[in-house]
């Protein structure tokens, strides 16, 4: 009988996937990472490479034309892309975030209509939950959807939307019954080309500069009623179920950023000489590297354990949900905190060079910070964990 550990240890197939994604990332994505960051432009080269190798949305089930990858395989893809370019890792990560509500709660018609183009690489999918006055308190959103015959009319503003303007499809949460607070929120699929949809200017950010973050404006956006995801009033529940699964992808992103920083620092300290020998020979430096590697491995095990629980919820239903909620929050919180510490240490190990853009670790440090903030701040993750202690 398989042990608990065997449930989330990567299989031979998973490790083969890791090798192929790492080779692709180093050859086709890494060469553009610094330029993408410097110019704050979308990493089109990464999108092209990922689509060409069916790695842009591996989570889509085979029945809709996707690879049907499990949660751990998805984590590995994101981790390996983030190791060289965090901005590029948001392509597979946000495609899952945006489309998972459709997978979890959408009608068969919605799944066929929107998952097939996503799987083919013809479209990307974003997720619209946050608003100017509704961040951690997502239930306080003001975007409204009003029924008008066979249509819904949406009005409002969504903020901090990753890949906005590039994605063709958007999962939008909107209030359909103001008197019911979270139980009066419903989910919809909005298309980029729908009349009344527009976007704000790209945010000028500390990190992940290659992934556009913009406001999404909904001005009397009229969409067919069959674009509601699930039943009316179930949108907030779908949003929270989605985050249980996708916080693990942020843990994977943080893990990849941290691994990239450690890998670079390890190489540097073997070459940089001071006092007549490589700085890697000094015990103080060795202790720093040991702590970095230890935290990465702990984050990896927690992230993979969470991925196993994500997969189990898909297989067994909501019976394992509380377990997933805790582990998803724990993985995201721990991995992102570790990534911030590890990238900061990597900059320290490179000294003055680490503080310049001639070396990648300062970019990795800037990129790591957002993993402590989005898909729920780490303060919120600790609240979630406390409410779902195993």
Per-residue pLDDT tens for 316-367? 765 556 699 999 999 999 999 999 999 999 999 999 999 999 999 999 999 9
Residues 243, 358 within the same domain: yes
Burial (CB < 10 A; 0-12, 13-18, 19+), residue 88, is buried
Q: Residue 202 sits in a domain of what CATH number?
A: 2.40.110.10
d(CA 254, CA 31): 20
Choose among 295, 210, 284: nearest CA to 261: 295
Instruction: Name the residues annotated as catalytic.
Output: 375
Last residue of a domain, one of 229, 255, 288: 229
Over residues 153-210, the pLDDT tens digits come to 999 999 999 999 999 999 999 999 999 999 999 999 999 999 999 999 999 999 999 9
Residue ranges making up the domain that contains 135: 125-229
Residues 324, 245 within the same domain: yes
Residues 151, 107 within the same domain: no
Is residue 1's pLDDT more than 70?
no
Residues 301, 369 within the same domain: yes
**Residues ≥6 apart with Cβ < 8 Å to 246:** 93, 96, 97, 100, 375
Over residues 99-118, the pLDDT tens digits come to 999 999 999 999 999 999 99
Residues 131, 72 within the same domain: no
Residues 103, 213 within the same domain: no
Choose among 236, 123, 204, 104: nearest CA to 170: 123
Whole-number pLDDT of residue 320:
59
Q: What is the mean pLDDT of residues 256-268?
A: 98
Residues 16, 149 within the same domain: no
Last residue of a domain, one of 229, 260, 295: 229
Whole-number pLDDT of residue 10:
86
Residues 224, 277 within the same domain: no
**From the centroid of its chain, how far is CA 245?**
10
Q: What is the mean pLDDT of residues 116-145?
A: 96
Residues 111, 186 within the same domain: no
Residues 178, 210 within the same domain: yes
Joined together, the tokens standing for residue 199 give 């976007």
Residues 15, 104 within the same domain: yes
Whole-number pLDDT of residue 8:
61
Q: Residue 358 sits in a domain of what CATH number?
A: 1.20.140.10
Number of domains composing the chain: 3
Q: Residue 69 sits in a domain of what CATH number?
A: 1.10.540.10
Last residue of a domain, one of 65, 86, 120: 120
d(CA 141, CA 150): 24
Whole-number pLDDT of residue 3:
40
d(CA 210, CA 81): 13
Over residues 214-255, the pLDDT tens digits come to 999 999 999 999 999 999 999 999 999 999 999 999 999 999
d(CA 156, CA 135): 15
Backbone angles phi, psi at 149, to 5 degrees: 65, -125
Residues 242, 383 within the same domain: yes
Joined together, the tokens standing for residue 22 give 């790492």
């Amino acid at each position: 009988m398989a042990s608990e550990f065997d449930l989330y240890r990567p299989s031979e197939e998973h490790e083969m996937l890791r090798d192929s994604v790492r080779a692709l990332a180093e050859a086709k994505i890494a060469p553009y990472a610094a330029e993408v960051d410097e110019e704050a432009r979308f990493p089109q080269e990464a999108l092209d490479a990922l689509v060409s190798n069916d790695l842009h949305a591996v989570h889509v089930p085979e029945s809709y034309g996707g690879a049907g990858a499990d949660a751990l395989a998805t984590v590995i893809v994101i981790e390996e892309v983030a190791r060289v370019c965090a901005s590029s890792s948001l392509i597979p990560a946000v495609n899952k975030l945006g489309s998972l509500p459709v997978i979890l709660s959408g009608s068969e018609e919605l799944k066929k209509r929107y998952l097939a183009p996503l799987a083919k690489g013809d479209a990307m999918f974003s997720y619209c939950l946050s608003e100017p006055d509704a961040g951690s308190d997502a239930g306080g959103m003001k975007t409204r959807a009003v029924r008008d015959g066979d249509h819904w009319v949406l009005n409002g503003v969504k903020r901090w939307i990753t890949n906005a303007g590039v994605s063709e499809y958007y999962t939008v949460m909107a209030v359909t019954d103001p008197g019911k607070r979270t139980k009066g929120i419903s989910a919809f699929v909005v298309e980029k080309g729908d009349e009344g949809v527009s976007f704000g200017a790209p945010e000028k950010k500390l990190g992940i500069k290659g992934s556009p973050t913009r406001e999404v404006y909904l001005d009397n956006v009229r969409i067919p009623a069959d674009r509601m995801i699930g039943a009316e009033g179930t949108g907030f529940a779908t949003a929270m179920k989605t985050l249980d699964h996708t916080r693990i992808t942020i843990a994977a992103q943080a893990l990849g950023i941290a691994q990239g920083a450690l890998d670079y620092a390890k190489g540097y300290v073997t070459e940089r000489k001071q006092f007549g020998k490589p700085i890697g020979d000094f015990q103080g430096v060795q202790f720093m590297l040991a702590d970095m590697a230890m935290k990465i491995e702990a984050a990896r095990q927690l992230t993979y354990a969470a991925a196993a629980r994500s997969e189990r919820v898909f297989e067994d239903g909501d019976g394992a949900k509380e377990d997933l909620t805790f582990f998803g929050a724990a993985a995201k919180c721990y991995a992102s905190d570790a990534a911030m510490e590890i990238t900061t240490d990597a900059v320290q190990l490179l000294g003055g060079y680490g503080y310049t853009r001639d070396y990648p670790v300062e970019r990795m440090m800037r990129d790591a910070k957002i993993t402590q903030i989005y898909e729920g701040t780490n303060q919120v993750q600790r609240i979630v964990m406390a409410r779902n202690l195993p």
